[in-house]
Amino acid sequence: MNTLVMKMCQGRTNSLTTELAGYQTINNNPYVRFAAKYKQTTILVYTSGKIVFQGKGALSVAQEFGYQEEAISSSDVQASGQFQISQENLSLIGSDEVGNGSYFGGLAVVASLVGPGDQVLLRDLGVADSKVLTDQKIQQIAPILEEKIPHKALLLSPNKYNEVVGPGKPHNAVSVKVALHNQAIYLLLQEVPKPDQIVIDAFTSQANYQKYLRQERNQFPNPLTLEEKAEGKYLAVAVSSIIARNLFLDNLKKLGEDLGYQLPSGAGAKSDKVASQILAAYGMEGLNHCAKLHFANTKKAQKLLKN
């Protein structure tokens, strides 16, 4: 599918919505203020002022409104400066996890496939590493990404996490992430075309990942790389980080509602205090329901309760 981009006010685009009013279609994306289907081409006018032409007739339709190939380069689509321009023509699966450093809440892992045709939408949504976005922004755009971008999301609840992670159990804190990333990517590959590249936001070395991967039943032949801070370099990883963060936040909220406490994210002193209150009210069974017990916070909470 051809995808071309113009900016409002270039060519004669100011009259575009009037001229195409008879071809207008419904589009539920809150960032699209006008959509039309014209000559086998989908035209989307974003609130940011960008106009996207997608389809077999994209070039000819865009040219009707003054598109000139030298005027709008593909680098304009890539102009955030945060993500690698080399992604422009790549189909890439990116995988990331959220919740690993939080005492309360589960561990969310998401793998997403982003292709060249998705780039404009993602930039107009303001997709970036979830660590630099507010939770409000994440909760606003995550449902759109879940609808538009092929992905697989896995959530390991605290209860299940405590069954499989810890001394004498099948996994440690690294191997469980290897298992989840591998499974999310494996499931996604069953449903999408073969990607050009697979990238995981690095949480261990490539050699260590491969060591733990040998324990997994589901394997795939596609090569993958682990790269540090990949969520700030690859749109696919950034998408996964946003969906995973939203999944983690929803789970954290639900777990808190189950017990009647507001559970903090992270593993600081506030988590120790809330954990001691849950211990007093529900005992270890309560913590097992909402927290990762092998964290040092558990012993700190027990000490607080004794004092």
Question: Which residues are documented as binding site?
Answer: 96-97, 201
Report the distance separating Cα 45 and Cα 23, nearest Å. 13
Q: Which two tokens stand for residue 115?
A: 């292709």
Alpha carbon separation from 49 to 10, 31, 38, 248, 291 (Å, rounded): 10, 10, 19, 33, 45
Give just the sign of the alpha carbon dihedral 183, 184, 189, 190.
Answer: positive
Name the residue type at position 74: S
Annotation: binding site for a divalent metal cation: 96-97, 201
Q: Parallel, antiparallel, or unpaired for β 92-98 and 197-201? A: parallel
CB burial readout 253-290, b (16+ within 10 A) else e: eebbeebebebbbebeeebbebbbbbbeebeeebbbbb
